[in-house]
Amino acid sequence: MAGLFELFVDAQSHVRFRLTAPDGTVMAVSKPFDDKPAAVAGIAAVREYAGMGHITDLCPPHSDGPAPARTHSGQPSGAYRDRALHRAATTKPGLAGAA
């Protein structure tokens, strides 16, 4: 299944986008953009870079010690899920993703 790019306006009135997995997990959040066309161009760039990108491992070498405790579940907060469900329920069909 494909992920979803969501355009939104942050608290500082900048346009950003986030990439969400099919289950709603936020995978990435963009830098702030001044306007929607710039954010849409950023999405196009991410699509290009991710499709052709190489992986560089910058992690320290493996140690024999235990792995550090995980402090984040990787799941969006309950408040984010609630807003997303409300937004999905109140969005008019055919307007989702309009730029």
The pLDDT, as a whole number, for residue 69 is: 72
The pLDDT, as a whole number, for residue 1 is: 75
The pLDDT, as a whole number, for residue 43 is: 97
**Splitting the chain (99 residues) into consecutive groups of 10 residues, what average pLDDT does each group show?**
93 97 95 98 94 89 72 60 62 50
61 in a domain, yes or no? Answer: no
The enclosing domain of 7 has a CATH number of 3.30.160.160
State how many domains the chain has: 1
Give long-range contacts, CB 8 A cutoff, 24+ apart: 20-27.
Answer: 24/76, 24/81, 24/84, 25/74, 25/75, 25/76, 26/76, 26/80, 27/3
Residue 8 structural domain? 1-51
12 in a domain, yes or no? Answer: yes
97 in a domain, yes or no? Answer: no
85 in a domain, yes or no? Answer: no
The pLDDT, as a whole number, for residue 78 is: 58
20 in a domain, yes or no? Answer: yes
The pLDDT, as a whole number, for residue 72 is: 63
